[in-house]
Amino acid sequence: MKYYILKIFCDFDGTVTKNDVWVNSLGKFIKDKEKFQQVCYEFDNAFISARECIKRELGLVGDFNFDKFNREVDKEEIDIYFHKFLSYCNENNYDIFLISEGLDYYINRILKREGLEHLKLFCNEMTYYTDENGKIILSCEFPYSDEVCSYCGMSKRNILITNTNDYENEISVLIGDGTSDFCAASYADIVFAKGKLASYCWKNNITYFEYKNFNDIINKIEKLKAGRQLKQRQTARGLRRDVFLGG
Protein backbone atom coordinates (compact mmCIF):
# COMPACT_ATOMS: atom_id res chain seq x y z
CA MET A 1 0.00 0.00 0.00
CA LYS A 2 1.44 3.37 -1.04
CA TYR A 3 1.87 6.11 1.53
CA TYR A 4 0.13 9.29 0.47
CA ILE A 5 0.51 12.83 1.74
CA LEU A 6 -2.37 15.28 1.51
CA LYS A 7 -2.15 18.78 0.11
CA ILE A 8 -5.11 20.86 1.32
CA PHE A 9 -6.46 23.71 -0.82
CA CYS A 10 -9.09 25.69 1.04
CA ASP A 11 -11.42 28.47 -0.04
CA PHE A 12 -11.89 31.40 2.36
CA ASP A 13 -15.19 33.27 2.01
CA GLY A 14 -18.05 31.09 3.23
CA THR A 15 -15.64 28.23 3.95
CA VAL A 16 -13.14 29.42 6.55
CA THR A 17 -15.53 32.24 7.42
CA LYS A 18 -19.17 31.58 8.25
CA ASN A 19 -20.33 34.27 5.84
CA ASP A 20 -19.15 35.44 2.45
CA VAL A 21 -17.17 38.44 3.70
CA TRP A 22 -17.16 40.05 0.27
CA VAL A 23 -20.96 40.01 0.07
CA ASN A 24 -21.64 40.54 3.76
CA SER A 25 -19.15 43.29 4.67
CA LEU A 26 -18.06 44.91 1.43
CA GLY A 27 -21.64 44.62 0.23
CA LYS A 28 -22.75 47.11 2.87
CA PHE A 29 -21.14 49.85 0.77
CA ILE A 30 -23.18 48.91 -2.31
CA LYS A 31 -26.44 50.83 -2.42
CA ASP A 32 -27.79 49.48 -5.71
CA LYS A 33 -28.59 45.97 -4.50
CA GLU A 34 -30.44 45.12 -7.71
CA LYS A 35 -27.37 45.74 -9.87
CA PHE A 36 -25.25 43.86 -7.33
CA GLN A 37 -27.52 40.82 -7.48
CA GLN A 38 -27.51 40.97 -11.27
CA VAL A 39 -23.71 40.86 -11.37
CA CYS A 40 -23.70 37.92 -8.92
CA TYR A 41 -26.28 36.12 -11.07
CA GLU A 42 -24.27 36.62 -14.25
CA PHE A 43 -21.13 35.30 -12.58
CA ASP A 44 -22.85 32.29 -11.00
CA ASN A 45 -24.26 31.35 -14.40
CA ALA A 46 -20.94 31.86 -16.24
CA PHE A 47 -22.15 34.83 -18.31
CA ILE A 48 -19.20 36.90 -17.08
CA SER A 49 -15.72 36.05 -15.79
CA ALA A 50 -14.59 36.33 -12.19
CA ARG A 51 -12.41 39.27 -13.17
CA GLU A 52 -15.29 41.16 -14.73
CA CYS A 53 -17.52 40.28 -11.78
CA ILE A 54 -14.99 41.65 -9.29
CA LYS A 55 -14.39 44.84 -11.23
CA ARG A 56 -18.11 45.49 -11.72
CA GLU A 57 -18.87 44.86 -8.06
CA LEU A 58 -16.08 47.15 -6.90
CA GLY A 59 -17.45 49.74 -9.32
CA LEU A 60 -20.74 49.64 -7.38
CA VAL A 61 -19.06 50.43 -4.06
CA GLY A 62 -19.86 53.93 -2.84
CA ASP A 63 -19.01 56.10 0.19
CA PHE A 64 -16.32 53.64 1.20
CA ASN A 65 -14.75 54.19 4.58
CA PHE A 66 -11.91 52.05 5.95
CA ASP A 67 -12.89 52.52 9.59
CA LYS A 68 -16.42 51.33 8.94
CA PHE A 69 -15.21 48.49 6.74
CA ASN A 70 -12.76 47.34 9.41
CA ARG A 71 -15.54 47.28 11.99
CA GLU A 72 -17.67 45.14 9.68
CA VAL A 73 -14.80 42.76 8.92
CA ASP A 74 -14.02 42.42 12.62
CA LYS A 75 -17.54 41.08 13.16
CA GLU A 76 -16.99 38.23 10.72
CA GLU A 77 -16.64 34.85 12.42
CA ILE A 78 -14.69 31.82 11.26
CA ASP A 79 -15.73 28.17 11.45
CA ILE A 80 -15.43 27.14 15.10
CA TYR A 81 -13.48 24.02 14.09
CA PHE A 82 -10.99 25.72 11.76
CA HIS A 83 -8.25 26.02 14.38
CA LYS A 84 -8.77 22.36 15.25
CA PHE A 85 -8.49 21.49 11.56
CA LEU A 86 -5.21 23.39 11.26
CA SER A 87 -3.82 21.51 14.27
CA TYR A 88 -4.92 18.25 12.65
CA CYS A 89 -3.13 19.18 9.41
CA ASN A 90 -0.01 20.14 11.33
CA GLU A 91 0.02 16.87 13.29
CA ASN A 92 -0.22 14.90 10.05
CA ASN A 93 2.20 17.07 8.04
CA TYR A 94 -0.53 18.10 5.60
CA ASP A 95 0.30 21.35 3.82
CA ILE A 96 -2.60 23.81 3.65
CA PHE A 97 -3.05 26.60 1.14
CA LEU A 98 -5.75 29.26 1.36
CA ILE A 99 -7.03 30.03 -2.15
CA SER A 100 -9.55 32.81 -2.65
CA GLU A 101 -11.11 35.07 -5.26
CA GLY A 102 -11.49 37.54 -2.39
CA LEU A 103 -9.27 40.46 -1.46
CA ASP A 104 -6.08 40.33 0.54
CA TYR A 105 -7.06 43.31 2.71
CA TYR A 106 -9.92 41.71 4.62
CA ILE A 107 -8.53 38.17 4.49
CA ASN A 108 -5.24 39.24 6.07
CA ARG A 109 -7.09 41.28 8.69
CA ILE A 110 -9.11 38.23 9.76
CA LEU A 111 -6.09 35.91 9.69
CA LYS A 112 -4.07 38.33 11.83
CA ARG A 113 -6.92 38.55 14.34
CA GLU A 114 -6.97 34.76 14.57
CA GLY A 115 -3.18 34.46 14.83
CA LEU A 116 -3.04 32.75 11.45
CA GLU A 117 -1.04 35.22 9.37
CA HIS A 118 1.55 32.48 8.76
CA LEU A 119 -0.78 30.51 6.49
CA LYS A 120 0.02 30.32 2.79
CA LEU A 121 -2.44 32.63 1.07
CA PHE A 122 -3.18 33.11 -2.63
CA CYS A 123 -5.80 35.73 -3.46
CA ASN A 124 -6.46 38.96 -5.32
CA GLU A 125 -4.97 42.26 -4.16
CA MET A 126 -7.15 45.22 -3.26
CA THR A 127 -5.92 48.58 -4.50
CA TYR A 128 -7.44 52.03 -4.08
CA TYR A 129 -6.95 55.71 -4.66
CA THR A 130 -8.65 58.91 -3.53
CA ASP A 131 -10.21 61.05 -6.26
CA GLU A 132 -10.33 64.83 -6.45
CA ASN A 133 -13.45 64.86 -4.30
CA GLY A 134 -11.86 62.83 -1.54
CA LYS A 135 -13.81 59.71 -2.47
CA ILE A 136 -12.07 56.35 -2.04
CA ILE A 137 -12.16 54.32 -5.26
CA LEU A 138 -11.51 50.59 -4.90
CA SER A 139 -9.90 48.43 -7.54
CA CYS A 140 -8.17 45.07 -7.76
CA GLU A 141 -5.09 43.39 -9.17
CA PHE A 142 -4.78 39.71 -10.09
CA PRO A 143 -1.27 38.45 -9.26
CA TYR A 144 -2.27 34.78 -9.50
CA SER A 145 -4.23 34.84 -12.74
CA ASP A 146 -3.58 32.36 -15.54
CA GLU A 147 -1.69 33.72 -18.55
CA VAL A 148 -3.98 31.88 -20.97
CA CYS A 149 -7.35 31.65 -19.21
CA SER A 150 -8.95 35.03 -18.55
CA TYR A 151 -11.98 33.68 -16.69
CA CYS A 152 -10.61 33.35 -13.15
CA GLY A 153 -9.12 36.28 -11.28
CA MET A 154 -7.12 33.93 -9.06
CA SER A 155 -6.48 30.57 -10.70
CA LYS A 156 -7.20 28.05 -7.98
CA ARG A 157 -6.55 25.30 -10.48
CA ASN A 158 -3.00 26.51 -11.08
CA ILE A 159 -2.19 26.77 -7.37
CA LEU A 160 -3.52 23.25 -6.82
CA ILE A 161 -1.61 21.73 -9.72
CA THR A 162 1.72 23.44 -9.11
CA ASN A 163 1.72 22.53 -5.42
CA THR A 164 0.80 18.85 -5.82
CA ASN A 165 3.37 16.33 -7.06
CA ASP A 166 1.64 13.33 -8.63
CA TYR A 167 4.90 11.43 -8.78
CA GLU A 168 5.52 11.68 -5.05
CA ASN A 169 2.13 10.21 -4.15
CA GLU A 170 0.63 13.54 -3.12
CA ILE A 171 -3.16 13.85 -3.02
CA SER A 172 -4.87 17.18 -3.59
CA VAL A 173 -7.87 18.00 -1.40
CA LEU A 174 -10.16 20.90 -2.32
CA ILE A 175 -12.47 22.44 0.28
CA GLY A 176 -14.98 24.97 -1.01
CA ASP A 177 -18.51 26.22 -1.29
CA GLY A 178 -18.97 28.46 -4.31
CA THR A 179 -18.71 29.28 -7.98
CA SER A 180 -15.04 30.24 -7.81
CA ASP A 181 -14.25 26.63 -6.81
CA PHE A 182 -15.90 25.03 -9.85
CA CYS A 183 -12.82 24.88 -12.07
CA ALA A 184 -10.44 23.51 -9.44
CA ALA A 185 -12.92 20.78 -8.46
CA SER A 186 -12.27 18.92 -11.71
CA TYR A 187 -8.52 18.78 -10.98
CA ALA A 188 -8.67 17.77 -7.30
CA ASP A 189 -8.38 14.19 -6.08
CA ILE A 190 -10.76 14.70 -3.16
CA VAL A 191 -13.43 17.40 -2.99
CA PHE A 192 -15.25 18.58 0.12
CA ALA A 193 -18.18 20.68 -1.00
CA LYS A 194 -21.22 22.51 0.25
CA GLY A 195 -23.59 25.07 -1.26
CA LYS A 196 -23.15 25.90 -4.93
CA LEU A 197 -20.02 23.77 -5.24
CA ALA A 198 -21.87 20.67 -4.03
CA SER A 199 -24.61 21.31 -6.59
CA TYR A 200 -22.03 21.78 -9.34
CA CYS A 201 -20.18 18.56 -8.47
CA TRP A 202 -23.44 16.61 -8.38
CA LYS A 203 -24.53 17.93 -11.79
CA ASN A 204 -21.13 17.26 -13.36
CA ASN A 205 -20.50 13.80 -11.88
CA ILE A 206 -17.56 14.92 -9.76
CA THR A 207 -17.22 12.75 -6.68
CA TYR A 208 -17.43 14.89 -3.54
CA PHE A 209 -18.13 14.73 0.18
CA GLU A 210 -20.58 17.15 1.74
CA TYR A 211 -19.63 18.89 4.95
CA LYS A 212 -21.06 21.44 7.35
CA ASN A 213 -17.90 22.35 9.22
CA PHE A 214 -14.22 21.45 9.45
CA ASN A 215 -14.84 18.80 12.08
CA ASP A 216 -16.84 16.89 9.45
CA ILE A 217 -13.80 17.05 7.18
CA ILE A 218 -11.46 15.71 9.86
CA ASN A 219 -13.80 12.80 10.55
CA LYS A 220 -14.18 11.96 6.86
CA ILE A 221 -10.44 12.02 6.18
CA GLU A 222 -9.89 9.69 9.12
CA LYS A 223 -12.52 7.29 7.76
CA LEU A 224 -10.90 7.36 4.33
CA LYS A 225 -7.52 6.65 5.92
CA ALA A 226 -8.92 3.78 7.96
CA GLY A 227 -10.52 2.27 4.87
CA ARG A 228 -7.38 2.82 2.79
CA GLN A 229 -9.41 4.97 0.41
CA LEU A 230 -7.06 7.92 0.20
CA LYS A 231 -5.92 7.88 -3.39
CA GLN A 232 -5.42 9.97 -6.47
CA ARG A 233 -8.48 10.31 -8.70
CA GLN A 234 -7.40 9.09 -12.12
CA THR A 235 -9.66 11.48 -14.03
CA ALA A 236 -8.25 14.43 -12.10
CA ARG A 237 -4.69 13.17 -12.52
CA GLY A 238 -5.22 12.94 -16.27
CA LEU A 239 -6.53 16.51 -16.39
CA ARG A 240 -3.56 17.72 -14.38
CA ARG A 241 -1.20 15.95 -16.78
CA ASP A 242 -2.94 17.57 -19.75
CA VAL A 243 -2.34 21.03 -18.27
CA PHE A 244 1.36 20.35 -17.87
CA LEU A 245 1.53 19.02 -21.43
CA GLY A 246 -0.30 22.06 -22.74
CA GLY A 247 -3.57 20.28 -23.45
Q: Which helix (H) or strand (E) holds 243?
A: helix 234-244
CA–CA dist 77, 57 (Å, integer): 23
Angle at the Cα of 98 from the Cα atoms of 76 and 89, rounded to 5 degrees: 100
3-state helix, strand, coil in the chain (%, to 5): 45, 20, 35
CA–CA dist 188, 204 (Å, integer): 14
Give the residue-averaged pLDDT of 152-157. Answer: 92
Half-sphere exposure of 174 (CA within 13 A, CB side): 34
**Is 190 within 8 Å of 171 (Cβ atoms)?**
yes
129: confidence class by pLDDT, cuts 50, 70, 90: very high
Beta bridge partners of 122: 99
Note the pLDDT tens digit of each residue in 104-117: 999 999 999 999 99
Note the pLDDT tens digit of each residue in 8-63: 999 999 999 999 999 899 989 998 999 999 998 998 888 988 889 999 999 999 99
Nearest in space to 237 (alpha carbons), one of 175, 165, 183: 165
CA distances from 32 to 39, 45, 55, 62, 237 (A): 11, 20, 15, 10, 44
Q: Is the pLDDT of residue 206 over 80?
A: yes
Q: Is the pLDDT of residue 202 over 80?
A: yes
